[in-house]
């Protein structure tokens, strides 16, 4: 299989925007951008000198690869509508199986999953972002691996089952952690405290796991089995039953973890 030079995107959201602009900066030719919204397709297309369309039937067969970067629920629909079944195609989802391409009649396909939270406007250093690659054949894998290596220093061969578990782990490490920040921010706001006071602690906690395992880095009353402090915290949260229940559940989980 020849190396990738020309790329078309199916999707124009956060991941598509960051990937397209990053690949464009590496001298890849971005050929077409498809989105249900012609406005969104046009915004991205103008950034990467591509053609925009809101009609998937207008995607031609001139690209070397087609990157599907839409919501998980929409992947099946766009694959059914995309007619160039002989072309190399990938998706960027953390949870959708690779076999979805086979069931929709494709022959050359794979996964091109950047493990990072992305937005259209925040700057991204792709050299630090892990890319998880899976492919239908060794030849396709090598092609995808070479393409990912143009962007990142961290490219991994990960199968669909591993990728699903990695995505769950990422939800705990990122989304759930951010929800904890939101709870902490609300507790601060409710008591006339500035959330900024906690930011050095947040940064120190994140930095610790760069040199220690999360289990080694764990601190706090649950780790110490400081039950008097735990009881005080639970009482302080008595006007917010859901947060109190969450505190109790996580505290017990930490206690159980320290016993293993």
Flag whether 1 is in a domain.
no
Supply the pLDDT for residue 124.
87
| Res 1 pLDDT > 70 | no
Residues 143 and 169 in one domain: no
Residue 186's domain comprises 163-258
Q: What angle do CA 13, 17, 22 make, to 5 degrees?
A: 155
pTM: 0.89
* Residue that terminates a domain, selected from 135, 158, 181: 158
| Phi, then psi, of 11 in degrees rounded to 5 | 125, 150
Flag whether 87 is in a domain.
yes
Q: Which residue has the higher pLDDT, 181 or 122?
A: 181
Residues 134 and 169 in one domain: no
Residues 167 and 151 in one domain: no
Mean pLDDT of the chain: 95
Residues 110 and 154 in one domain: yes
| Res 193 pLDDT > 80 | yes
Q: Determine the Cα–Cα distance for residues 79 and 68; give it in Å rounded to an integer.
A: 9
> What b/e string do you get for 64-73 counting C-beta neighbours within 10 Å, with b at 16 or more?
bbbbbbbeee
pLDDT tens per residue, range 14-46: 999 999 999 999 999 999 999 999 999 999 999
Flag whether 243 is in a domain.
yes
Work out the percent of the chain whose per-residue pLDDT is above 70.
Answer: 99
Residues 167 and 99 in one domain: no
Whichever domain contains 57, its CATH number is 3.40.50.720
Residues 226 and 113 in one domain: no
Q: Determine the Cα–Cα distance for residues 144 and 259; give it in Å rounded to an integer.
A: 43
Whichever domain contains 249, its CATH number is 1.10.1040.20
Supply the pLDDT for residue 60.
97
Token reading at 92: 């960027």
* Residue that terminates a domain, selected from 158, 193, 220: 158
Residues 154 and 171 in one domain: no
| Res 260 pLDDT > 80 | no
**Average pLDDT of span 167-187:** 96
**DSSP assignment string, 12-67:** -SHHHHHHHHHHHHTT-EEEEEE-SSHHHHHHHHHHHT-EEES-GGG--S--SEEE
Residues 154 and 167 in one domain: no
Beta bridge partners of 34: 10, 53
Residues 18 and 147 in one domain: yes
CB proximity list for 177: less than 8 A, separation 6 or greater: none
Supply the pLDDT for residue 259.
76
Residues 219 and 134 in one domain: no
* Residue that terminates a domain, selected from 158, 186, 201: 158
| Res 2 pLDDT > 80 | no
pLDDT tens per residue, range 118-168: 888 888 899 999 999 999 999 999 999 999 999 999 999 999 999 999 999
Name the CA radius of gyration of the chain, rounded.
22
Supply the pLDDT for residue 233.
96
């Amino acid at each position: 299989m020849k190396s990738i030079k020309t790329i078309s995107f199916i999707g124009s959201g956060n991941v598509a925007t960051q990937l397209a602009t990053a690949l464009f900066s590496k001298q890849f030719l971005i050929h077409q951008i498809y989105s249900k919204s012609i406005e969104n397709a046009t915004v991205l297309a103008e950034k990467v000198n591509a053609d925009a369309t809101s009609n998937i039937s207008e995607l031609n067969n001139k690209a070397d690869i087609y990157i599907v970067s839409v919501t998980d629920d929409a992947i099946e629909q766009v694959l059914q509508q995309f007619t160039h079944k002989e072309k190399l195609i990938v998706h960027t989802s953390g949870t959708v199986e690779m076999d979805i391409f086979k069931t929709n009649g494709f022959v050359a396909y794979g996964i091109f999953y950047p493990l990072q939270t992305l937005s259209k406007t925040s700057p991204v250093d792709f050299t630090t972002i892990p890319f998880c690659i899976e492919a239908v054949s060794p030849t396709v894998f090598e092609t995808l691996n070479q393409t990912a290596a143009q962007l990142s220093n961290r490219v991994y061969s990960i199968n669909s089952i591993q990728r699903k578990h990695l995505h769950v782990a990422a939800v705990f490490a990122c989304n759930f952690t951010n929800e904890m920040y939101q709870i902490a921010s609300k507790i601060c706001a409710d008591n006339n405290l500035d959330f900024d006071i906690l930011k050095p602690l947040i940064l120190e906690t994140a930095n610790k796991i760069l040199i220690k395992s999360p289990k080694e880095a764990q601190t706090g009353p649950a780790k110490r089995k400081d039950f008097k402090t735990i009881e005080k915290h639970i009482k302080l949260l008595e006007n917010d039953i859901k947060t109190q229940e969450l505190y109790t559940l996580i505290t017990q989980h930490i206690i159980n973890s320290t016993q293993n």
